[in-house]
Amino acid sequence: MNKVVKFGGSSLASASQFKKVGEIIRADRERKFVVPSAPGKRSSDDTKVTDMLYACYGLAEKGADFTKELQAIKDRYQEIIDGLELKLSLEKEFKVIEKSFKEKAGSDYAASRGEYLNGIIMAKYLGFAFVDAAEVIRFKADGEHDAERTNTLMMDRLSTVEAAVIPGFYGAYEDGRVKTFSRGGSDITGSIVARAIKANVYENWTDVSGVLVADPRIIYKPAGVETITYRELRELAYMGFSVLHEDAIFPVRSEGIPINIRNTNAPEDNGTWIVESTCQKSKYVITGIAGKKGFCAVNIEKEMMNSEIGFGRKVLQAFEENEISFEHVPSGIDTMTIFVHQDEFMHKEQKVVSGIHRLADPDSIDIEADLALIAVVGRGMKSTRGTAGRIFSALAHANVNVKMIDQGSSELNIIIGVANADFETAIKAIYDIFVLSQI
């Protein structure tokens, strides 16, 4: 029985944090495969090593001197090495990095070195084998992750070691060029490793004790979630939940491997279990509330729209031609609304409007800006009557005007559109009606 354990940047920001991680790993013999992130912030006014690397490479790319910036990064790692009392030198690795920066190896390569160097330190500290992610994680020529090729390489390589450290966040193309996942991609690496070794659990250690019902920046000390399904978390992650990268779900879901979100600073907490399915009922009707600001709505009207075959396709074609993705498309008999990201849309809005007129010949088009979308998610909603009614009653009492309502056929979530200015008020009202009123 093997466990994969991934540790976030805050868990590895300093030598003292490294020691906590070491204690956690050594406390369970099944924790044999470790995925580290780059060192995060040591304090609120500190800088993440990944950001330091981006800044350093930015200078190198311009042909400017980056000696001072690179030395600051060296000092961060040396501080960890000295604090752990390790006999380890990264001088050879930093010489390669300096040379590669001068040769303009790319920002992906630069960013990946944070995890790479932390992986070397972690492997030395634990006495585990070090496996460079560039050797076992593959990307296709178009930049898409090659899941099956990666799984084959990872299985073959890890079958030769009893315990290993595999740096998170990056892999490589077939020609060896380094490619990173999007921010938070170490979560994906951990999931990939868990799939390859067919782990019994994937533990994701961070600085919170699991998934919370709502954003703690909006709700003071929100309730925790004991168990959540892959589908619920995917819905919430897409709408802003940041506890786990949304793409980290896919590799483990195919193997039915549960994810356990744990807190490095409170290892005694059980955290949150993310599972394929469960018979356990949620403590509350809803599992979570998440949302994002910065949307706009393109409202299209045309009489007899519902009887015109292909009308929706023609409208969406105007967005496709301008390379704009849409979020939601609620519609009525003579109306259709397209919700899009405002910052992506605003520079192309008139091209889109003229495209819609050209392709679909609507009666009128109206654009409303500065909107937010809120997702209310929960497997318990399907079997509970009046959920939607309670949501809208709570919003009405909070004087929040609802701009849009969209509910999937699975009844797993309800999407609500409100003005940006009402975003926090709306989330507090929904949280109060489903959580505080139940306590």
Distance CA 248, CA 202 (A): 11
What local confidence, expressed as pLDDT, does residue 410 receive? 64
Q: Where are the beta strands (DSSP E) in 235-360?
A: 259-263, 272-275, 288-301, 335-341
Positions of the chain with pLDDT lower than 50, given as ranges: none
- Using CA atoms, how far residue 162 sits from 34, 129, 133, 155, 157, in Å, is 12, 8, 17, 12, 11
Runs of H (alpha helix) within 284-404: 311-321, 342-345, 349-360, 387-397
Query: Domains in the chain, start-ordered, CATH in brackets?
Result: 3-275 (3.40.1160.10), 288-438 (3.30.2130.10)
CA distance 384 to 100: 58
Give, for 69, the enclosing helix (H) or strand (E). Answer: helix 67-84
Q: What is the DSSP string of 149-195?
A: HHHHHHHHHHTT-SSEE--SSEEE-TTS-EEE-STTTHHHHHHHHHH
- 94 CB-near residues (< 8 Å, 6+ apart): 70, 74
Residue 148's pLDDT is 96
Q: What is the pLDDT of residue 438?
A: 66
